[in-house]
Amino acid sequence: MPAAEVARTLNFPDTSPTPHQRRDIRGSSMDIARDLFAFIARLAIGIVLIAHGVQKFFGLGMPMISEAFGRLGIPLPTIAAWFTVLVEIVGGTLLVLGLLLPIVGVLVALLMAGAAWFVHLPHGLFSPNGYELVLVIGVAALALGFNGGRWSIDHGVLSRFTGRRRPSAAGDGR
């Protein structure tokens, strides 16, 4: 006689996990993995953005960046240069921290779309001057901006003020 049948005969409660409980166990490990990899992706994209912004600001200097933007035909080159450096440094930092993710994701995606349009599209997809890097950074920042994981300041603040957790990417409310 199976153990579950013996337990029922003796009126012992059935302690075996239900299919729902088994899914919760797997789901929580998947949630941890999803949040870990979202954090790693935010960290990688954020570091790349910060490095490019710091290189422009401290390495080349804003006058040289503005002049280069003008030569490339970018409208309002001085404003565009400052916007670029600020989005790269501040946006990259916020991406790493997980703060204001939707705003940062959209700004970085717009910045990368502008870089592709004004600089990289004529060179094709592949490096050294192609648009592959700006495409990947823009799409990744946009995706992470709207699903940056629960290991973020945004998620902590949202949870604290609403009293509930933002659903994970699986949509299960945890």
DSSP string covering 85-122, please?
Answer: HHIIIIIHHHHHHT-SHHHHHHHHHHHHHHHIIIIIGG
Task: Answer with the residue of higher pLDDT: 28 or 21.
Answer: 28
Sign of CA dihedral 117, 123, 128, 133: positive
- Predicted confidence (pLDDT) at residue 174 exceeds the cutoff of 50: no
Query: Is residue 118 a contact partner of residue 72, using CB atoms and an 8 Å limit?
Result: yes
- Of 10-14, 26-30, 99-103, highest mean pLDDT: 99-103
Q: Over the stretch 127-159, which tens digit does the pLDDT of each residue have?
A: 789 999 999 999 999 999 999 999 999 998 887
Task: Name the percent of the chain lying above pLDDT 70.
Answer: 78
Least trusted range by pLDDT, from 25-39, 64-78, 131-145, 153-167: 153-167
Task: Answer with the residue of higher pLDDT: 77 or 28.
Answer: 77
The angle formed by the CA atoms of residues 59, 65 and 66, to the nearest 5 degrees, is 150
Q: Name the residue ranges covered by the structural domains of the chain.
A: 31-162
Q: Over the stretch 51-64, which tens digit does the pLDDT of each residue have?
A: 999 999 999 999 99
